[in-house]
Amino acid sequence: MGKVTGFLEYERVDGPVRPEEERVQDFQEFHGELSQAERKKQAARCMDCGIPFCQAGVMIAGMASGCPLHNLVPEVNDLVYRGRMDEAYRRLSVTHSFPEFTGRVCPALCEAACTCGLHDAPVATKENERAVIEYAYENGLVKEEAPTVRTGKRVAVVGSGPAGLAAAQLLNRRGHEVTVYERRDRIGGLLRYGIPNMKLDKSVIDRRVRLMEEAGVRFVVNADVGKDISAEKLRKEYDSVILACGASHPRDLNAPGRDAKGIRFAVDFLTEVTKRLLDEKKPPVDLAKGKDVIVVGGGDTGNDCVGTCIRLGAKSVTQLEMMPMPPACRTAGNPWPEWPKVLKTDYGQEEAAWKFGSDPRVYQTTVKEFIKDKKGNLKEVELVSLKPERDEKTGRMNMVPVEGSGRKVPAQLVLIAAGFLGSEAYVTEAFGVETDARTNVKTAPGAYQASKPGVYTAGDMHRGQSLVVWAISEGRKAARAVDEDLMGYSNLD
């Protein structure tokens, strides 16, 4: 695949990005595209490696290795190298519902498992994927064809994130009548309101939704199933219901002073920023301008909060991470093709380093206490250092406070980005479905039907907090499960 000696001849080159001093002035996407000639060179680096771990999508040591969608990565790269972009799109679209989303926000599990990455930089598969889908849109190749025959079956999809959209797409193509219910005012779920615009411009969602609407998918917004619309109504009116509401129950930080004004969950904050950007057409600088901001959590959402607060004019931004700093390179206990547990510096951290002079992350640290002023507003936080300590009974390694390490720092805004505990109870209770210990909807292993007949689940609501690419994969598989039960067989992949 690709050029046989391409990985020896060409170095990895990523697409251009707007410099920090320019991009922090707005909320526009800042990743550019390589020329077609350079893109061919990057695709040429794909090796004829025999076993393409990039497309495996398997769990190794509890971590995903390769693409969960099983995209035939070498074939797509080979077609890009040969300049056959129309065929590259057709090959990619066989397994992938929305390359325009993952080409922007996926952490590239395919690249982490790339054989070329064992001793060199991996193939730029994520950027190649984005180049393919953007070429396809520009040249009118992306279509959602309305089915010529309808089955007479009706399916309701609750939640319009990546899992819900993927399920709706395939079920509509199959000929079922599909209605997607979204509790917010716009379609997209996590894609719309959990991911900032500079990572995923919302027009990218809108153009796909328009195609799906034209093909017959019905979208209903401001419809909170379980509150505004009863579960009984949906189960009565539809042959099947897919719950794809995400893992939207945030993990809290229960330190003294938690009731102070100025402490927010990260996704709620990001949601307000995006909604106001869309509604008011200008950045809501009042949310962070001139404030000392503490972001609790070192993951993608925490990084998004860092980048967002910089754009809103924060006075300072500090990002807390409970765990020790990861190593710069793989350790012996984390061999390829496992997911590399190494230090990664994302766009928000780069921007903070540019603006404030240093990486915003502080490791092995958490909040011990929130300190309020006389009006109940947050004014400071007391931080405490942590150290690893093994529990003698369980053998688990826990992070415990270091005695005497407390220190106070100014803070008028704290954003809690500590992950999610599972699905929200009011939805699962409304449908009467069983949940597991993490409050995710319970199914048989590898299955998507919930404990109630005709009710299915997909995405984070099924597997817990995860990645967009996993949600798309789950949505596609749930669609197949629904189709098999409705029709007795399925030709969906």
8 Å CB contact between 97 and 169? yes
For 260-279, how does the pLDDT look when each residue is reduced to its tens digit (9 = 90+)? Answer: 999 999 999 999 999 999 99
> Does domain 6-138 match CATH 1.10.1060.10?
yes
Mean pLDDT of 201-229: 98
8 Å CB contact between 459 and 471? yes
CA 376 to chain centroid, in Å, comes to 35
Could you tell me which of 204, 191, 464 has the C-alpha nearest to residue 304?
191
Mean pLDDT of 413-432: 95
| Fold that domain 154-248+421-487 belongs to in CATH | FAD/NAD(P)-binding domain (3.50.50)
The CA-based angle 133-466-128, given to 5 degrees, is 20
The CA-based angle 130-134-137, given to 5 degrees, is 145
Q: Is 21 exposed, middle or buried (CB count within 10 Å of its CB: 0-12, 13-18, 19+)?
A: exposed
- The pLDDT, as a whole number, for residue 395 is 87
* 20 vs 1: CA distance, rounded Å: 36
For 324-372, how does the pLDDT look when each residue is reduced to its tens digit (9 = 90+)? Answer: 999 999 999 999 999 999 999 999 999 999 999 999 999 999 999 999 9
Q: Is the pLDDT of residue 465 over 90?
A: yes
8 Å CB contact between 486 and 241? no
Could you tell me which of 118, 85, 23, 50 has the C-alpha nearest to residue 351?
23
Mean pLDDT of 14-41: 97
Q: Is 363 exposed, middle or buried (CB count within 10 Å of its CB: 0-12, 13-18, 19+)?
A: middle
* 326 vs 484: CA distance, rounded Å: 45
Whole-number percent of the chain with pLDDT over 70: 100
- Angstrom CA distances, 409 to 210, 316, 371, 397, stand at 48, 11, 10, 28
Structure tokens at 52: 């393409």
- Angstrom CA distances, 311 to 29, 32, 203, 290, stand at 13, 19, 20, 11
* 195 vs 304: CA distance, rounded Å: 7
* 400 vs 20: CA distance, rounded Å: 36
Cis peptide before 337 (omega within 30 of 0): yes
Maximum Cα interatomic distance, the chain, rounded to a whole number of Å: 71
- The pLDDT, as a whole number, for residue 393 is 85
Q: Is the pLDDT of residue 58 over 90?
A: yes
| Domain at 252-418, CATH homologous superfamily | FAD/NAD(P)-binding domain (3.50.50.60)
- The pLDDT, as a whole number, for residue 48 is 84
For 178-209, how does the pLDDT look when each residue is reduced to its tens digit (9 = 90+)? Answer: 999 999 999 999 999 999 999 999 999 999 99
* 1 vs 84: CA distance, rounded Å: 14
8 Å CB contact between 202 and 275? no
Structure tokens at 446: 């590898």
- Angstrom CA distances, 183 to 122, 193, 202, 214, stand at 40, 12, 18, 22
pLDDT averaged over every residue in the chain: 96
Q: What is the pTM of this model?
A: 0.96
- Nearest 10 degrees: CA dihedral of 184, 187, 193, 195? 160
Q: Is 223 exposed, middle or buried (CB count within 10 Å of its CB: 0-12, 13-18, 19+)?
A: middle
8 Å CB contact between 284 and 273? yes
- The pLDDT, as a whole number, for residue 253 is 95
Q: Is the pLDDT of residue 14 over 90?
A: yes
* 198 vs 200: CA distance, rounded Å: 6
* 335 vs 12: CA distance, rounded Å: 22
Structure tokens at 136: 């396809």
- The pLDDT, as a whole number, for residue 1 is 61
For 282-326, how does the pLDDT look when each residue is reduced to its tens digit (9 = 90+)? Answer: 999 999 999 999 999 999 999 999 999 999 999 999 999 999 999
| Identical fold between 6-138 and 252-418 | no
User: Confidence class of residue 80 from pLDDT cuts 50, 70 and 90?
Assistant: very high
Q: Is the pLDDT of residue 91 over 70?
A: yes
Q: Indicate the domain borders of the chain.
A: 6-138, 154-248+421-487, 252-418
